[in-house]
Structure 1
């Protein structure tokens, strides 16, 4: 009890929700991209008849099943917290957000669950066309789920289309404005692209791992090539989408951008871009700042001398936690450019015909495997912490949203969540890693003339130099 005497229940409630969301968000981010990847693999198999695509489909299907199950279980826990820890928020926003969450279940989760069994167990029981339709429906369902959940969260960031009744509840006045609120399109594109990049990095890392062990494995070569294509094509799009999202945030949530940029002071004649530094909220400055003059104004206003307001124009009680937002934003951006660099490196290797013969590229792809998850978490922290001190931006403060709970009660449930989550989901992640550690079925032997293939049961001749005989097979 004494340990909790200086901690408010609201801090513990926020920590609990943050912990459970952080665990949950990584699984949908992976399953959204992986469901689409499975649909592409099955479609390519049906179109080309190449066995390697079918083998990869079966390989990743097991991993998808485990990740999907963990995403569902971790998501259920969060909904209970709406009633236990955030009952005031649930009461105030329920008439608006409750129906949209129900739409997500009816239009997305039922679609996923309805076709998931056919996708997992029906390949030898239904026709190829019907099975492919089931795979497509699961992929579409994951995107529908992202649509509704991001619409809910975006409404909390940029609330529109509502009225307030006599009980102080937000009630719908214009459903179109509610669902398609100002930040929703930008956030939906940003999140879906992030899911595809996260999946591409994981697939690329698994392919790289097996290429380092057996460069001739056709399955490893195919998955690595596909992942690098996705990375090279989507990473630049994600940077452009992030820029558009940032401009939208500047328009509707300028305080969040001030914290992201570290702008404690207003800049009437052009704001610098602060690359690094240590934000000091008490002194209202970024200490040891490394900055580029006027570049922030150029990025945000497309003019070197455009004025930008700072946190000095905002009451202190309305500031978000600046150091957290400042650094989480930089982590996300840094990983985004690292993805772009890896994609460009793979293009260079591909053009030289050495995509499968550059161990350092493979090691870099392996090291970048978890980077997508880190970027998603950093982006979520930037978005949610940057919204503080509000749950519904500008309308409902976090301090007014929490349930009337005592700190010991919230601390007990938080401790239980930590122990159970690390035990259950830790074992799930370890199982997924063990599945990934198994080499994919080698698929089609003879892809490389002059290079013996272990998959065909042929022992490589000692005189063969793989680097000299390796041919591109993208």
Structure 2
């Protein structure tokens, strides 16, 4: 059993807040680019359906942007309150990177967001489109800097340790550390996929209700095309990201695979199912495919992958958690690829908008992208343990000197406030929009109502 000491409570608190927060930037990143595409198509084709979709989704974007900003501030404060050891040790790296994010991405987004939301009748079409593009660019820049900071914690480079503190010596090496390009692309594509699934589920709901107007069909069609094109690419990116992780964080890969022992010297199997047992150093009820683990990760039929017993016990990640979080992510990715392929077949038969089982499946897949992102983050962050900066500083040395009682009260307060906050925001959105959507089959009517509010 886990002992709920101050360290574990601080980790739970940060995991809780970042899990809550990451949902909103993921939607914001994808929606901002989607809105830029919609407005660009509207200007090029003069088809009013694209503007109808823009007005509808810009309202959802604004809510997500606000929620993302507020929930993100909480995490920034936690670096000082709960992780003062980390701030003292690595603040000269993470502090400037987060500052660059604010000075470039956030200011760019905030500066043009007002024009994007309130400028339809005040500026020209081209200037408004430029504002939308700048907001989209800002979300991508924000992803760039946040991933640079987090990736440095995973694969630190470009530094010296002087008097017990990290001192940057090469900012290019700090930012473009070995895992950064893979993690940046993987997270960016994940955000686009999550948005496609989210948008597709909304369109599927309308189609199931009999609302088959032009905007609804275009929304569903665009979402399915994104799945077809991007889901297989994401699988490839995940594969090369895994090879990069194998090179720089082999213990994480061993824990993900639930692989314990290489004493036989043979190739490693791929464990499809099982329950890694950290105490007994084995994976219980393992369902294996011989050799496939080596083939996937080493591209070899004879070379084994790293085993958990190759590492000291106090430097092994919790295999049970990341074994299953990784498989949840992969399973959802496979379902996304299948969803995209099915859309191609139905599109060819001209049944994309009329096949009930597929529309229901698309509706159920709506949150799949966000769940996959959460599972991926759990895999990444738990897999880094026991290090907060991989190979340099352990998590136990980074936590602030709070008592168990203080951390318990703090975590409880966070939980209560976040649940109340989520419930209030959810009821607000449902009361204003969802109830109206249920009674309206003419999609343009609701978007005109939303645009009037803008």
Q: What is aligned with 2:252? A: 256
Which string of whole-angstrom CA distances, capped at 9 and with x for unpartnered residues, describes residues 134-176 of structure 1?
000000000000000000000000000000112x110101100
Residue 19 in structure 1 maps to residue 16 in structure 2: yes
1:316-465 equivalent positions in 2, closer than 5 A: 316-432=313-429, 435=433, 438=437, 442=443
What is the deviation of 1:441?
A: 5.5
Comparing 187-196 with 213-222, which one deviates more in the overlay?
213-222
Comparing 372-381 with 304-313, which one deviates more in the overlay?
304-313
1:237-276 equivalent positions in 2, closer than 5 A: 237-266=233-262, 268-276=265-273
Partner of 2:242, secondary structure, is: helix
Among candidates 102, 107, 111, match of residue 110 of structure 1: 107
What is the deviation of 1:432?
A: 4.2
Partner of 1:320, secondary structure, is: coil
Residue 176 in structure 1 maps to residue 172 in structure 2: yes
**CA RMSD for the aligned pairs?**
1.6
Which string of whole-angstrom CA distances, capped at 9 and with x for unpartnered residues, describes residues 183-227 of structure 1?
000000000000000000000000000000124222211111100
Partner of 1:291, secondary structure, is: strand
Which string of whole-angstrom CA distances, capped at 9 and with x for unpartnered residues, describes residues 306-349 of structure 1?
22220111110001111001000000000010100101111110
Tell me, in whole angstroms, the C-alpha distance in 1 between the residues paired with 2:434 and 2:365: 15
Tell me, in whole angstroms, the C-alpha distance in 1 between the residues paired with 2:265 and 2:415: 47
Tell me, in whole angstroms, the C-alpha distance in 2 between the residues paired with 1:120 and 1:158: 39
Partner of 1:233, secondary structure, is: helix
Tell me, in whole angstroms, the C-alpha distance in 2 between the residues paired with 1:106 and 1:425: 29
Q: What is aligned with 2:84? A: 87
Residue 8 in structure 1 maps to residue 1 in structure 2: no
Pair 1:281–1:25, CA change in 2 (3 A): same
Q: Aligned residues, how many? A: 440
Residue 300 in structure 1 maps to residue 259 in structure 2: no
Structure 1: runs of 5+ lacking an equivalent? 445-454, 456-474
Partner of 2:279, secondary structure, is: coil
Tell me, in whole angstroms, the C-alpha distance in 1 between the residues paired with 2:441 and 2:251: 49
Residue 33 in structure 1 maps to residue 30 in structure 2: yes
What is the deviation of 1:430?
A: 4.3
TM-score calculated relative to the size of structure 1: 0.91
Structure 2: runs of 5+ lacking an equivalent? 449-454
Q: What is aligned with 2:58? A: 61
Tell me, in whole angstroms, the C-alpha distance in 1 between the residues paired with 2:273 and 2:404: 36
Partner of 2:303, secondary structure, is: coil
TM-score calculated relative to the size of structure 2: 0.95
Which string of whole-angstrom CA distances, capped at 9 and with x for unpartnered residues, describes residues 268-312 of structure 1?
221100001111111111111111110011111111112222011
Residue 124 in structure 1 maps to residue 130 in structure 2: no
Tell me, in whole angstroms, the C-alpha distance in 1 between the residues paired with 2:377 and 2:302: 31
Tell me, in whole angstroms, the C-alpha distance in 2 between the residues paired with 1:164 and 1:9: 27
Q: What is aligned with 1:223? A: 219
Tell me, in whole angstroms, the C-alpha distance in 2 between the residues paired with 1:395 and 1:441: 59
Large movers: runs of 4+ above 3 Å:
429-437, 439-444
Q: What is aligned with 1:101? A: 98
